[in-house]
Structure 1
Amino acid sequence: MSNQPRTALVTGAGRGIGRGLARGLAAAGWELALVGRTAEHLDAVAAEIRAAHPDRTVLTLPADVTVADQVTAVVAAAEQGLGGIGLLVNNAGVIERQEVDLAADDVEDVWRVIEVNVRGPLLVTHAALPGMLARGAGHIVNINSGSGHRPSPVYTGYGISKGALARLTTMVHTQVADRGVRVLDVAPGVVVTDMTQAMPLHDGRAEWTPVEASVDLIDAFGSGRLDALSGRFVRAGTDTEESLLAHAERIVAADARTLRLAAWGDDDPVA
C-alpha cells in the first residue's frame, strides 16, 4: 500500500449504487474521480460530497465506458487530477429491459447489456492498469452479482455479462497480482435503486442490502486488508471484513469463491 494513493475512480457514479459508493468512499477518506454518462448527475453527487467533506477532492468526468477514446481520456484526467488512481471501482452496469427468457427477448438488448457490463470494465481496467503497475500498487473492484454463477430463467445477457466479469477478475489477478495489483469481485446484494425497483423479480421485496455494506468491503479491500482474497468473489450483506478475514485461510486452501469448472473427482480428465 505504500505506493498507492488513497484515490478512487468510480464508474456509474451518477446514480444508484455508484452514487452510494462514491459518497461512502469519500466519507472513508478517499479522493474521488466520478465517471458516468450524464454530467448533471455527476455534478450533483460531487456537490453532495463537497458539502459533507469540503476538503475532499472530487473530479467529475463524463464518459461512456464503452467508448475507448472517452475511457482513455477520463482515466488520464483522473491520473493527473488525483495524482494517480489507487482504487478502481468498475460499477457501471445495465440490465435487460424485459424480464423474459432468451427466446422471448430482443437479442440486440441482450447484447447491449453484455457490451456495457463487460466492455466497460475491460476498457477502464486496461486504461488504469499501466499507472498501477508503474507504482507497483493498486486495487480493482468489479461490481458483480451471484447471477454470474447461478443459472436464471430470465435476464440472459446480465447473467452472461457477470460470468464474463468474474472471469476478467480471475484473469487480471493471475496476470498482475505478483506485481502489486489486486482485484476482487464484490456483489452488492439487492440495493434499492431505480433499476432494482423496476424489476418485477423484486416486487414485494421487504429486505434490501444497504449500500454501506458494499462501501465497507470496498474500503477494506482498497486499503489492503483483504488482499489475501484477490481474484475471488465476496457479497455485501453476507460477508463482512471480519468474517472474510476469519475464513481467509479456508477460502484460499479450498480455492473457493472463484469461477472455475467443477470436476466429478480427482480422476476427471478435465479437472
Structure 2
Amino acid sequence: MADRTTPAPRTAVVTGAGRGIGRGLAVGLARRGFQVALLGRTPAHLEAVAAEIAGHGGGAAAVVPVDVTDPDAVRAAADRAEEALAPHGGVGLLVNNAGVIERREVPFDQDDPADVWRVVETNVRGPLLVTHALLPGMLARGTGRVVTINSGSAYRPSPAYTGYGISKAAVARFTSVLDSQYRDAGLRAFDLAPGVVATDMTASMPTWEGRTEWTPVEASLDLLVAIADGDLDALSGRFFRAGVDTPASLAAHADDVVAADARRIQVPPYGPTDPLLS
C-alpha cells in the first residue's frame, strides 16, 4: 500500500478526553509513547486523566478545559495545546472525540427539536472549530492527521436519535472534504467508529440495555496508532470500524477500497445512464 505522507510528530490532541472513549484513547496513546493534550469541559475529569497518564509513566499531559462549541475558547485552547506540544514537534494527531446524543430514544416527531439541535451543534460545530484552529499548524509543518470519532449511524438510518445520525453523516462528509482539500498539502483525515463501547453514554441508551458484549477501546486504539504512524495514509478520507477492521485487514484490502471508491459517503448512481454522472 503506497501513499504514505511525511511522518507526523507523535503527539495528540484528544477532545472529550475526560471520560469514556476519549479517556481511553488519551491514556492509551500516552502509554504508546505519544505526548497528549487533553481537551474537555470539566477540569476535574481532565486532571484525573492526566494523573492516570503520569501514574503510568506517560509524562505530563497538558490539561486544557474548553467548550468545543465556543469559537473564542477553542482558539485559545488550540494555542495552549500547540504551545504544550511544541517541544515535541507540534500537534501531529487530532482526535475529534467530544460528542453527545439525545436525551430520549424516540423518533423525530416525539423528540424535542431543541435537544436534536443540541446534538447536531455539539457533534458538528465542535470538530469544525477544533480542526479549523489546529489546521494552520499542521499545514505549516506539511503533515498531520485528523481523526473524527464517527458511527455507523452516519450511514444507516435509525428509528431514533435523529440528531446523532444527522451529525455523524455531516462529519463524515467533513472528513472527505478535508481529504479532498488538503491531501496534497500533507494532511490526512479519517472517520473511526469505535463500535459499541461500554461508557456512561451507552449505559444511558435503552437500545443497549442487557448487552454483554462490548467493543474494547483497545480496538480503536490500534487503528488510531496505525493512522498516526502513517500506515493507513492511502485510505485517507474513509471510514474504519473498530472491532471489525484492523490495521492489517485494512492494509490488505486498501487497493480494493480505493478501486471501488468505498468506505465514504456518496450518492451511488443507478447505472451507467444515470444523469447523476453527467
Deviations 1:93-128 (A, max 9, x none): 000000000000000000000000000000000001
CA distance in 1 between counterparts of 2:7 and 2:154 reads 33
Match of 1:45 in 2: 49
Match of 1:186 in 2: 192
Kept in 2: contact 1:233–1:258 (CA 8 A): yes
CA distance in 1 between counterparts of 2:84 and 2:125 reads 25
Match of 2:218 in 1: 212
Deviations 1:153-198 (A, max 9, x none): 1000000000001000000000001100000000000000000011
Tell me, what secondary structure is at the counterpart of 1:65? coil
Matched, 1:75 2:81: no
Match of 1:221 in 2: 227
CA distance in 1 between counterparts of 2:214 and 2:135 reads 34
Q: 2:172 aligns with which of 166, 171, 176?
A: 166
How far off its partner does 1:232 sit? 0.2
TM-score by length of 2: 0.96
Deviations 1:25-61 (A, max 9, x none): 011110000000000000000000000015x231000
Kept in 2: contact 1:3–1:136 (CA 8 A): no
Q: 1:62 aligns with which of 45, 60, 65?
A: 65
Tell me, what secondary structure is at the counterpart of 2:275? coil
Amino acid at match of 1:164: A
How many residues are paired up?
Answer: 270
Identical counterparts, % of pairs: 61
TM-score by length of 1: 0.98
How far off its partner does 1:145 sit? 0.2
CA distance in 2 between counterparts of 1:186 and 1:178 reads 22
Tell me, what secondary structure is at the counterpart of 1:119? helix
CA distance in 1 between counterparts of 2:183 and 2:60 reads 28
Match of 1:197 in 2: 203
* 1:9-158 superposed matches below 5 A: 9-54=13-58, 56-83=59-86, 84-158=90-164
Q: 1:267 to 1:2 in 2, by over 3 A?
A: closer
Deviations 1:241-261 (A, max 9, x none): 000000000000000001000
Where do 4+ consecutive residues of structure 1 move more than 6 Å? none
Match of 2:266 in 1: 260
Unaligned runs of 5+ in 1: none
Tell me, what secondary structure is at the counterpart of 1:270? helix
Deviations 1:194-222 (A, max 9, x none): 00011000011121000000011011001
Cα RMSD of the aligned pairs, angstroms, is: 0.9
Amino acid at match of 1:25: L
How far off its partner does 1:3 sit? 5.9
CA distance in 1 between counterparts of 2:25 and 2:127 reads 16
Amino acid at match of 1:15: R
Tell me, what secondary structure is at the counterpart of 2:52? helix
Amino acid at match of 2:40: G
How far off its partner does 1:4 sit? 2.3
Amino acid at match of 1:52: H
CA distance in 1 between counterparts of 2:53 and 2:213 reads 27
CA distance in 1 between counterparts of 2:109 and 2:31 reads 45
Unaligned runs of 5+ in 2: none
